[in-house]
Amino acid sequence: MVANNLKPSSGVVIDIIRLLLDKLLDIWDDIKKDNKDKNTLLWVFK
């Protein structure tokens, strides 16, 4: 089923990676904003 998609163009792969990195950076920024008190950070890792 995925056989035809095993070799996507490198441009597509780069775009996907960029989107994922942007999402991760956004989430990280949100976490840092929420973690003005360290209790939130501890809660995240429970």
Q: Name the residue ranges covered by the structural domains of the chain.
A: 12-44
Handedness of CA 25, 31, 36, 37 (dihedral sign): negative
Q: Which pLDDT score, from 0 to 100, does residue 34 have?
A: 72
Q: Which pLDDT score, from 0 to 100, does residue 23 have?
A: 94
CB–CB of 40/34 below 8 Å? yes
Digit-by-digit pLDDT tens for the chain (46 residues) are 455 556 667 788 889 999 999 999 998 888 787 766 666 666 666 5
Q: Which pLDDT score, from 0 to 100, does residue 12 have?
A: 86
The model carries a pTM of 0.47
Residue 42, sorted as left (phi over 0), alpha (psi -120 to 50) or beta, turns out to be alpha
Q: Which pLDDT score, from 0 to 100, does residue 24 have?
A: 92
